[in-house]
Structure 1
Amino acid sequence: MADKNPDPPARVLRDVNARGVRMRVLEAGSGPALLLVHGFLTSHRSFDEIIDALAPRFHVIAPDLPGFGESEKPSPTRYPYGIEAFAESMADLIAAFGVGRASVIGHAMGAAVALTLAAEHPELVTRLVVEDALCYPFPLSLRGRLPLLPVIGGAIFKQLYGRRTFRAYFRDEFFRPGAALPHERIDQHYDFFNGPSARESAYAVLRSILDTRPIIARITRITTPTLVVWGRDDRIFPAASAQRLARELPQAKLAILDAAHAPHEERPREFADLAAQFLEGKR
């Protein structure tokens, strides 16, 4: 009798050099290549809840971006932190795995990376799923504005943001009120962040992503079939941006889910099914 509950596909961690930076990459499954690109202050672990659902159908490649997770955190004088640099690192990663082309799922900042990769290297990207994408100017909460204050902002971000503040950001802005929080995963994100080089890298990224004009300029150049997914109650990037992005992308479909900033974490099964069907051309 066939096993009704097969073991999930094995996950393998490996280090890959891209743009001169050592990147920690999770690999799982087999089939068409699928690159997962995480958002700001997280790592590939953000996708923990959907990897087992995707790996039986795809060759999942989930890196920690330079400066985040367990990847190398070079000085901003050595690595030009920002969306363009991350996109070029993803192009190097696709080449390093020898997969030719890949579909891409990107969340938030990672969605901006995915859009940039598709605009600059269309030959590398088969299909796109962009989730709660960083793409248009967005309102900043008080917590988000503090690190940008002249003179003292950098010190606040690099020295004063502790575990309690980090947890509060995910509780109050990332997830819906009352959502079951992945406390262990959030704490690991903090542990990855809580070091001088990691904080320096994250601060350089934060400063770089405030100007979204380069992303906007690339949107109409993207011809890759794209699924725009958004959380209806996103408090970081308002859901109105989803409608605009789906209109401006030449080949886009739109799906709004009952979630906040991270539908793939709040509604993993629904998100994974939706993404897989789109990536396989079934919707």
Structure 2
Amino acid sequence: MTHPTYRSVDVDGFEVFYREAGDPAKPSLLLLHGFPTSGHMFRDLIPLLAKDFHLVAPDLPGFGRSALPSRDQFAYTFDNLAKVIGRFTEVVGLEKFAVYVFDYGAPTGLRLAMAHPERITAIVSQNGNAYTEGLSDGWNPIERYWREPTAENREALRGMLSEDAIRWQYEHGVSNPAQISPDGIALDLFYLQRPEADEIQLDLMLDYASNVALYPAFQAYFREHQPRLLAIWGDKDPFFLPPGAEAYKRDLPNAQVQFLDTGHFALETHANEIADEIRVFLKA
């Protein structure tokens, strides 16, 4: 059962593609990817954990091999991503699970946790932000779009979808860029070149403001429910700064915070280290 299987499932008319490995009788871990990738980002982590856990990694709506309905059929907001993934967990029978959140997966997964705190056994946040102090200056152009959602400000963000920008996200902060497989970058670019995919991503950049607006609610959830949390962070992330990881301790005094000498896509260089920490954390 350590080798992943690849399936799609109908979630109230929305097709969600997912990777699954491990024994369903063992503790479950839901893996939620970020921008601009897919469940493919967990390709190295899943085999490392599959002997000990049941792993499920869906592609978010509009990402990877999940459905990509047109924007006039589906509103690409983080509320809607979370609704689809929340129903996905019910359709595939995840009743209680830990959740690994990264980048866009963080506001998606934390919405799930707030909606059903009784289902969440633990949270692993790998560069998954929930505090304003974690936002770097790299967000300035996006924040400008939030304040003034003009066509000009939207167009200014299109460069973030280019090949150079995607490669930079993967390589920035990595001491040896030769460790970064070009295959993940190429796959992300392939999915971004589908019809309307660029506009969908710009819609989500605009809606990311809703996540920042929910930070106080996420933090209230932490204080009230005190979920077990491991924040494991590439400390050279150009988007989500180390203070965002440390901030979890403010609301979760027992949170574990660890830093890795790498960038945003920490699994590309430190999958073994992250797997070891998750194994110890979830078995504690």
TM-score class, shorter: 0.7 to 0.9
> 1:140 Cα deviation (Å)?
4.1
8 Å CA contact retained: 1:146, 1:153:
no
Matches within 5 A, 1:110-259: 110-137=105-132, 138-141=135-138, 145=142, 148=145, 150-155=150-155, 161-172=161-172, 175-179=173-177, 180-211=179-210, 212-222=212-222, 223=225, 224-249=227-252, 252-259=255-262
8 Å CA contact retained: 2:142, 2:157:
no
Note the residue ranges of structure 1 that are not aligned, 5 or more in a row: 1-7
Q: Distance in 1 between matches of 2:137 and 2:71?
A: 24
Q: Distance in 1 between matches of 2:164 and 2:201?
A: 18
> 1:19 Cα deviation (Å)?
5.1
Equivalenced residue count is: 272
- Shift in alpha-carbon separation, 1:119–1:113, aligned structure 2, 3 A: same
Note the residue ranges of structure 2 that are not aligned, 5 or more in a row: none
| Matched residue type, 1:213 | A
8 Å CA contact retained: 1:147, 1:157:
no
**Alignment root-mean-square deviation, CA:** 2.5
> 1:190 Cα deviation (Å)?
0.9
8 Å CA contact retained: 2:138, 2:238:
no
8 Å CA contact retained: 1:106, 1:130:
yes
TM-score, scaled to structure 1: 0.86
> 1:250 Cα deviation (Å)?
6.1
- Structure 2 counterpart SS, 1:129: strand
| Matched residue type, 2:11 | A
| Matched residue type, 1:202 | Q
More helix by share: 2
Q: Distance in 2 between matches of 1:166 and 1:248?
A: 33
8 Å CA contact retained: 2:169, 2:264:
no
CA deviation map 1:87-135 (0-9, x unaligned): 2222212111113111111112212222221122112211111111132
8 Å CA contact retained: 2:141, 2:157:
no
Q: Distance in 2 between matches of 1:147 and 1:77?
A: 25
> 1:155 Cα deviation (Å)?
4.2
> 1:182 Cα deviation (Å)?
1.6
- Shift in alpha-carbon separation, 1:142–1:207, aligned structure 2, 3 A: closer
Q: Distance in 2 between matches of 1:150 and 1:169?
A: 25
TM-score, scaled to structure 2: 0.85
| Matched residue type, 2:220 | T
Q: Distance in 2 between matches of 1:240 and 1:77?
A: 38
| Matched residue type, 2:98 | S
Q: Distance in 2 between matches of 1:256 and 1:83?
A: 27
Deviation larger for 26-35 or 247-256: 247-256
8 Å CA contact retained: 2:232, 2:258:
yes
Deviation larger for 142-151 or 84-93: 142-151
Query: 1:50 is matched with which residue?
Result: 45
> 1:238 Cα deviation (Å)?
0.8
